[in-house]
Structure 1
Amino acid sequence: MTINWKQEVEDRKEDLLNDLVELLKVKSEREDDKVTADAPFGPGPRDALLHMLAYGERDGFVVKNVDNYAGHIEYGDGDEILGIFGHMDVVPAGDGWDTDPYVPVIKDNKIYARGSSDDKGPSMAAYYGLKIIKELGLPVSKKIRFVVGSDEESTWKDMDYYFEHEEMPDFGFAPDAEFPIINGEKGNVSIAPHFESTNGGSYELRHFKAGLRPNMVPQDAIATIVTPSNEAATALKTAFEAYIAANPISGTADVIGEKVEIKLIGKSAHGANPQSGINAATYLAVFLQDFDFGGGAKNFIATASHVHLDVYGEKLGVAHDDEKMGKLTMNAGLFEFTAGEEGAYMNFNFRYPQGTDKETLAAGIEQSIGQYVAKLDVEEKHSGPHYVPMEDPLVSTLLAVYEEHTGEKGYEQIIGGGTYGRLLKRGVAFGAMFPGFTDTMHQANEFISLDDLFRAAVIYADAIYRLAR
């Protein structure tokens, strides 16, 4: 049987786009202060999960909701399970958008909204690939299970809970990265230095805050400083204005008597690619380090200054490069200091290749900045490096589909980003971004090209069928 997958997607383009638009309207950011027994990660992730599962019910699939943590949409029967993993949660929208991030806008053949490329758009493309197979009544010899998560951008507790109740698929992919394929992912661990929230110099750091998530480069940083005098406050403002004029940043400094309130703006990026962003927090710390701070505030500023531009962990003494997996990267993603209150800390998120581990990273950090730090917290639950060989039939089949539909040669890729693909020993990430794409994941004005969205759906339909038949 010859199936014109491109035509099948063409016949459903309007429905696919309409479903995606409605899904993108759901503000599915994790909100810990709104967690309930019914909404384990807050109402947004729950509502988006329910919305996606409702599409499966509408279209006649077997659907299961696992206590609003995760769920699945299922088709076919067989002894083996092919897993497809998407997620409905998104990182916080943040500032800098030209449009409302939860009112999808189609412009220049792109759809703009938070989640359009990570991961609601790719998930919808893969879902429609499965929907086509069902609607055509194509025979399959395996059970196909589209697993829908709701905490991928945070702790993956959705998958922990889901797999306490459901069996693990035998093999599969996550439509949550790039084509031709991602068959390797670096390890992922966060290490958090903590500080005393004290002062002691002639300048006092009242407050410093930056970052939304460990896996996002901080776009905004704010600080409140009390200076020795009104004249000193004015001088600090003048110095700050000169500093932002000389660097790739922007910002404001407001003087209120002896107090100065600073806001510095950089550029967000995915924490797996910190070199693509401009870290507002470390730029602000570099500016502040020239003033007379003392106590824990001085140590906090010194540490943040120390890691400025240190996206490969060189200043921290933990740099590592593997021939296959490439360089370790480090994103300084969260910063919090309030004078007199407990809990002053930073979060360094590492994406590390094989050949190193979290113990080695912690030891290097302790040696590098231990004199500044009150304690060092190392994330207990973390993911080590993951790799599926090119000769595995899963990898070779997916690359063959990609090559047939694009005319381009397939090749392996290893990334710092973490996807649900690594949940399975034989799991990879497959699309939906094509080579040469503009990466707007975790950034303002996130978008996906409609041409790429529909082209990905074509590839997913063929790939799912080949893997399942």
Structure 2
Amino acid sequence: MDNAKELISKKIDELRDRLVEATQEIVRVKSVLGPAEPGKPFGEGPAKAIETALKISEELGFKTKNVDNYVGYAEYGEGKEMVGVLGHLDVVPEGDGWTYPPYGAEIHDDRIYGRGTIDDKGPTMAALFGLKAIKELGLPISKRVRILFGSNEESGSNEIEYYLEHDEAPTIGFTPDANFTVIYAEKGITLFDVVMRFDKKPTSGIKIVKITGGEVKNMVPRLARAVLHVDDESLKKSVIEAVEDYRKEKNVDLSCEDNGDGLTIVSTGVAAHGATPEQGKNAIMQLFMFLDTLDLGDTDVKKFIHFFAENVGMETNGKKFGVYLKDETGELTFNIGTVSVDENEGRLGLNIRYPVTYTYDDFIKPFNKKLEGTGIVIENMVAQNPLYFPKDHPLIQTLSKVYHEVTGNEPVLLAIGGGTYAKEMKNMVAFGPNFPGQPELDHQTDEYIAIDHLVQLAKIYGSAIYELAK
């Protein structure tokens, strides 16, 4: 470790108690998304968190600015170029079952407990104190450094668009809101619906009244249900027998309940994140595969079910659909996360993530071609481009070098299917705060950050800021 990093490390040790106090202070603010108020676009809590972070920053001697309670920042240094560290102060709701008060920031066993301690208030304070060490030491830097306090990351990162319209974008930087060492690649992400209007409807036999399932597009659904109206008892009996035969033959979790004039078929799968659908079992598609074996007549709902049973099935990589892509960062992932079918319409919610060296057009053109002539259309498309830095990019190399020098651990570069806060600003990557093998405590009950971990982060981030800004 060079002299500057040793000095930063020693200075952080001196600042340890104040760092802990500042982290406790910001964690005590319940910064969950709330109803918008005048001057508080994301509610009282996130605005209070920005105010608190700026107060701490001013006490540390930094120039500060509140960008209309969308984003706040602390700034140090001079120069045309700017190093940015993008952290967020908003948190997800605390939920139930906490051992210690979720906004108490109590210390037990040298850990600070509370919502946001690891995601992302603690790491953001660590970056702020890393910059404080540089300031106190008077280390020479040639760029400005801005610690940015976001307030809407957990609910869409809508604050960043506003900030970029009203203030300056960093030249280069990182977000302390993921994993170490460096995430150099993040897949492109799409969320959208595929919809078919039903004109040709059943007149007799088995009628699908409704199909429901899944909660969000970016999760593999665990449950799906189909409610069927069946004309007579013999037909009903044959459907019940078909469910049982299919369950045994395919070894799937299907059940059937007689509800009087019809049947309810329940499909149970295994939940997983939309970024890794191969780790789950899709209850919606499991149900569609069974329904496709029934005689639903020459109807639009049959065509809708058959199309997806045939062209998706239980696949999670888009091969049958004709949209398969693969590069060094992995395969395209194809997840059907939600379903809503009634007598008038069929709607599926999709989350497709494509490898980073490809473009949106590489995926959407063959997707649209597959839909030609089916009557199925795309609605509500939300698309996020991939993030990709070559492994030899100076930003990746600098952060990897700092990580190795401060921790002594070999850097491991990561490519992921998920999306991080880094995608919200150009020339940024995700850098920590979770070390390899650490439990993932984000959004969990009893979220905490160990004080030694917090201090280590300040040393890493202080050294990273210095290397980028010197």
TM-score, normalised to structure 2's length?
A: 0.77
Deviations 1:36-82 (A, max 9, x none): 77555x53xx6325414422223414333333433323333332211
Structure 1 residues 265, 462: closer, same or farther in 2, change over 3 A? same
Segments of structure 2 that go 5 or more residues without pairing to the other structure are none
Deviations 1:308-347 (A, max 9, x none): 4433222222112224x333233333x2424256683422
State the 1:304 CA deviation. Answer: 5.2
CA distance in 2, matches of 1:273, 1:8: 43
Count of matched residue positions in the alignment of Structure 1 and Structure 2: 450
**Other-structure match for 2:70:** 69
Instruction: After TM superposition, list the pairs within 5 Å mapping 1:176-255 onto structure 2.
Output: 176-196=177-197, 200=202, 202-212=206-216, 214=217, 216-228=218-230, 232=236, 236=240, 239=243, 243=247
CA distance in 1, matches of 2:155, 2:242: 39
1:15 maps to 2:4: no
Instruction: After TM superposition, list the pairs within 5 Å mapping 1:240-389 onto structure 2.
Output: 243=247, 256-257=259-260, 258-260=262-264, 262=266, 264=268, 266-269=270-273, 271-293=274-296, 295-302=299-306, 305=309, 306-323=311-328, 325-333=329-337, 335-340=338-343, 344-354=347-357, 356-368=358-370, 370=372, 372-377=374-379, 379=381, 382-389=384-391
Cα root mean square deviation, aligned: 4.3
State the 1:159 CA deviation. Answer: 2.0
Structure 1 residues 426, 202: closer, same or farther in 2, change over 3 A? same
The DSSP-based 3-state class of the residue aligned with 1:313 is coil
Q: Which amino acid aligns with 2:396?
A: V
CA contact (8 A) 1:253 1:263 kept: no
**Other-structure match for 1:390:** 392
State the 1:430 CA deviation. Answer: 0.9
CA distance in 2, matches of 1:192, 1:437: 36
Structure 1 residues 309, 21: closer, same or farther in 2, change over 3 A? farther
CA distance in 1, matches of 2:241, 2:138: 68
TM-score, normalised to structure 1's length?
A: 0.77
**Other-structure match for 2:49:** 51
**Other-structure match for 2:102:** 103
Structure 1 residues 259, 326: closer, same or farther in 2, change over 3 A? closer
State the 1:99 CA deviation. Answer: 5.2
Instruction: After TM superposition, list the pairs within 5 Å mapping 1:377-456 onto structure 2.
Output: 377=379, 379=381, 382-392=384-394, 394-423=395-424, 425-439=426-440, 447=447, 450=450, 452-456=453-457
Structure 1 residues 400, 285: closer, same or farther in 2, change over 3 A? same
The DSSP-based 3-state class of the residue aligned with 2:173 is strand
CA distance in 2, matches of 1:242, 1:106: 54
% of aligned pairs identical? 31
Q: Which amino acid aligns with 1:321?
A: K
CA distance in 2, matches of 1:50, 1:220: 37
Structure 1 residues 345, 15: closer, same or farther in 2, change over 3 A? same
CA distance in 2, matches of 1:35, 1:344: 31
CA contact (8 A) 2:19 2:125 kept: no
CA contact (8 A) 2:77 2:141 kept: yes
CA distance in 1, matches of 2:94, 2:245: 28
Instruction: After TM superposition, list the pairs within 5 Å mapping 1:112-151 onto structure 2.
Output: 118-133=119-134, 140-151=141-152
CA distance in 1, matches of 2:159, 2:213: 28
The DSSP-based 3-state class of the residue aligned with 1:183 is strand
CA contact (8 A) 2:57 2:74 kept: no
The DSSP-based 3-state class of the residue aligned with 1:409 is coil
